A = this chain, B = another copy of it.
């Protein structure tokens, strides 16, 4: 039993031609109010929904956005919160009558193979736009292919809004709060990310006016025991960090626990910030601040841009879209000015 009901049925029920029905659903102004009302009534009565496939064929607009991403290497965690992107993206798109199609490239696929795979998908689905998720967003061949096919392409970081460096931003923020001894504990799932964060952190502390006279850096926090041990070794001595940046939320929570067991109050004696947000951070006592890339918001915004570009008529130039912040600070009670003395 196929859907059966088509534009033709609606046209008949409303006593107009299919074209008029088409105009109504496409928001053409050139329809009389009466006709429009009758058509809308008929649509509601019949419960008709236009077929995407038919609209795609006839109109050249598929209302499909392709999301291209690299699958994680086996055994390792995805660098992106795919579930969050999925939730945010589907909500954004479905509100505008668009849908998302996800295209997974095998990790470490050769550029030629990746291009071939993308080409096949473009041919099959004919998406109206594509979103290249990192690290695919830096693949020239993919971008070239999209351009040659005339398919709009977006990334999480639109032109003029380069990705922020959470490590750098966190260090900067703490520095501005007067901290001079800032610790950094690595642990991001993606080693490349740790490298960047660490580089940013070091860059900030190396500024000539930073007056940071000692770095506390742990390249990695493996298990809980090691993390607790590390935190203790940092916090027990008289000369200790007054602020700590932890890449992982779990690490920040462990440090918080050690601090409390040492009678160091957060944030009075120690400021804490994580480079990953997690519900557990907001639930701890005190809630811990986080500074992270708002991937889901950036993704939604990318979807919006593609849709706006496709929907824009010559008459209505697309208005400059609102860009979400590149980095988002979840300011919670774990940050304070550095104590006077140490």
CB distance from A136 to the nearest CB of B (A): 14
A48 within 8 A of B: yes
Decide: B71 and A78 in contact? CB cutoff 8 A: no
Q: Which residues of B contact A126 (CB under 8 A)?
A: 3, 51-53
If the complex has contacts A57-B54, A223-B284, are A104 and B87 also in contact, measured as CB distance less than 8 A? yes
Is the CB–CB distance between A228 and B250 below 8 Å? no
Contacts of A72 in B (CB 8 A): 87
The interface residues of chain B lying within 8 Å CB-to-CB of A71 are 87, 91
Task: Give the copy number.
Answer: 2
- Give the residue among A84, A86, A122, A149 with the most B Cβ atoms within 10 A: A86
CB distance from A237 to the nearest CB of B (A): 22
Q: Decide yes or no whether A225 CB sits under 8 A from chain B.
A: yes
Mark out the residues of chain A between 85 and 144 whose CB falls within 8 Å of any chain B CB in the assembled complex. 86-87, 90-91, 94, 99-104, 119-120, 122-126
Chain A window 261-287, contacts with chain B (Cβ cutoff 8 Å), 1 for yes, 0 for no: 100000000000000000110011100
Closest to A87 in B: B71
A275–B79 Cα distance when bound, in Å, is 24
Q: How far is the CA of A119 from the CA of B62 in the complex (A)?
A: 19
Q: Is B3 touching A149 in the complex (CB atoms < 8 A)? A: yes
Min CB–CB distance A293 → chain B (angstroms) = 16
What's the Cα separation between A120 and B56 when bound, in Å? 17
Q: Are B57 and A57 in contact (CB under 8 A)?
A: yes
- State which of A191-199, A204-212, A252-260 sits at the interface with chain B: A252-260
What is the bound-complex CA distance between A264 and B274, given in angstroms?
32
On whether A224 and B257 interact (CB within 8 A), knowing A77-B279, A123-B3, the answer reads yes
- Known contacts A51-B123, A223-B253, A224-B254: does B82 contact A87 (CB below 8 Å)? yes
Q: How far is the CB of A151 from chain B (nearest CB, A)?
A: 9
Q: Are A123 and B90 neighbours in the complex by a CB distance under 8 Å?
A: no
A49 in contact with B124 (CB, 8 Å): yes
CB pair A91 B120 closer than 8 Å: no
Q: Are B62 and A1 in contact (CB under 8 A)?
A: no
Residues of B within 8 A of A29 (CB): none
Q: Is A317 an interface residue (CB 8 A)?
A: no
Partner of A57, one of B53, B78, B90: B53
Residues in B with CB closer than 8 Å to A102 are 86, 90, 100
What is the minimal beta-carbon distance from A328 to any residue of chain B, in angstroms? Answer: 16
Residues of the B chain whose Cβ atoms lie less than 8 Å from the Cβ of A87: 71-72, 78, 82, 104
Query: Can you list 24 contacts pairing A with B, beta carbon distance less than 8 Å?
Result: A1-B149, A2-B150, A3-B123, A3-B149, A47-B119, A47-B123, A49-B119, A49-B120, A49-B122, A49-B123, A52-B126, A71-B87, A75-B279, A82-B82, A82-B86, A83-B86, A86-B102, A100-B102, A223-B257, A224-B253, A224-B257, A225-B261, A228-B257, A250-B280
